[in-house]
Amino acid sequence: MEEIITLDYGSGGKKTSRLIEQYIVPAFDNSALSELGDGALLPGADELAFSTDSFVVSPLFFPGGDIGKLAVCGTVNDVAMCGAEPKFLSCALILEEGLPVETLERVLQSMRRAASDAGVQIVTGDTKVVEKGRGDGLYINTSGIGFRKYRLPGLAAVRPGDAVLVSGTVGDHGTAVMLARSGMMDGELRSDCTALNRLTDAMLSSGAGIRILRDPTRGGLATTLNEFTEGRSFGIELEESAVPVRPEVRAACDMLGLDPMYCANEGKLICICASEDAEALLETMRAFPEGRDAALIGRVTDDAHGRVALRTGLGGRRILQKLAGAQLPRIC
């Protein structure tokens, strides 16, 4: 039976990994692609960081953001996670026939504000229009270029005892979008969509022993940590009580049958750093609005090779695997 693409392949979980590893990487095999990070580091007159991302979120507007702000912040963050200073973005628009021009104008103004806030410029792009019923309103692709400022040693430098930090509450974006989509949105629950480049610059300039940075978008915190440990000699153990989750996010997840550990984030980062630098680094992070709820949530261990475990409030251990299936499709 012929294999076909389903929504599971866009979840950021197991089937996304399979699609990338079995089909995409072999088709374009090269040293820059092999790292499979948030972006690629390119040698040149100056070392450049390059990233690209596509955005298909539904609905186009949600509490805390919209597809335009999401496109800018998402690509800025991917470049920043490489230890680079984001500078320039492209913007490619795929518009569906029948899209109100007023909607497009709102999205473009949102992109302008987000780019200005992040200190980047949108300098090139493209526009295509597809027939009504074939584009779901609006899709956006953004690519970003930045100049590498810091050298991150990566997963090869991770050691047992290293601290696992998160910059704030998890699951905000995925939960906010899903509630907006369902029409059940109320209260203060908003997406965390924001640019993190100023936060990462402060963290990396602090001199702390940072091994790796990553923003846990599709698949959430649990899936991103699994990407760290997969095929490695180390594991990660988290303390459930230490992982910051807003009460309203937890309540919404309970209502929708979701797990905040797997819900998308669009304004948070994960950092693995040397244990001795963790507290000072948290202090640096908490000085920024984007990092005010930063927390130490776990440690790297040598007794759970390739696995991520969650120590629960009852004292048990739950193994967190990569997201299986499409918990929240069309989320970013």
Task: Give residue-wise pLDDT tens across range 38-85.
Answer: 678 887 656 899 999 999 999 999 999 999 999 999 999 999 999 999
User: What pLDDT shows up at residue 313?
Assistant: 80
Do 169 and 133 share a structural domain? no
Query: d(Cα 321, Cα 14) in Å, to the nearest integer?
Result: 9
Domains: count for the chain: 2
Do 189 and 290 share a structural domain? yes
Is 37 part of a structural domain of the chain?
Answer: no
Paired residues of 301 in beta bridges: 235
Do 281 and 164 share a structural domain? yes
> Where among 148, 168, 188 does a domain terminate?
148
Is 252 part of a structural domain of the chain?
Answer: yes
DSSP letter for 24, please.
I
Do 209 and 67 share a structural domain? no
Confidence check: pLDDT of 37 > 80? no
User: What pLDDT shows up at residue 34?
Assistant: 54
pLDDT (mean) for 278-305: 96
Do 311 and 232 share a structural domain? yes
Burial bucket for residue 117 (CB in 10 Å: 0-12, 13-18, 19+): middle
Model confidence pLDDT, tens digit, residues 205-254: 999 999 999 999 999 999 999 999 999 999 999 999 999 999 999 999 99
Position 323 confidence tier, pLDDT thresholds 50, 70, 90: confident
Q: Please give the torsion angle defined by the CA atoms of residues 329, 252, 264 and 14, in that order, rounded to the nearest 10 degrees.
A: -60
Confidence check: pLDDT of 21 > 90? no
Is 296 part of a structural domain of the chain?
Answer: yes
Give me the domain span that covers residue 253: 155-320
Tokens of 265: 């984030």
Question: How many helices, marked H, and strands, marked E, lie in the chain?
Answer: 10, 14
Is 77 part of a structural domain of the chain?
Answer: yes
Question: Model pTM?
Answer: 0.91
Do 143 and 160 share a structural domain? no
Is 173 part of a structural domain of the chain?
Answer: yes
Confidence check: pLDDT of 10 > 70? no
CATH number reported for the structural domain that contains residue 240 in this entry: 3.90.650.10
Query: d(Cα 267, Cα 280) in Å, to the nearest integer?
Result: 21
Do 106 and 189 share a structural domain? no
Element (H, E) at 49: strand 48-55
Model confidence pLDDT, tens digit, residues 109-150: 999 999 999 999 999 999 999 999 988 899 999 999 999 999
Name 41's Cβ contacts closer than 8 Å, sequence gap at least 6.
32, 35, 47, 48, 49, 82, 84, 148
Element (H, E) at 236: strand 235-239
Model confidence pLDDT, tens digit, residues 189-210: 999 999 999 999 999 999 999 9
Position 12 confidence tier, pLDDT thresholds 50, 70, 90: low
Is 36 part of a structural domain of the chain?
Answer: no
Is 35 part of a structural domain of the chain?
Answer: no
Mean pLDDT, the chain, whole residue set: 91
- Determine what percent of the chain is predicted with pLDDT higher than 90: 73
Is 4 part of a structural domain of the chain?
Answer: no
Confidence check: pLDDT of 26 > 80? no
> Where among 114, 148, 182 does a domain terminate?
148
> Does residue 260 contact residue 169 with C-beta atoms inside 8 Å?
no
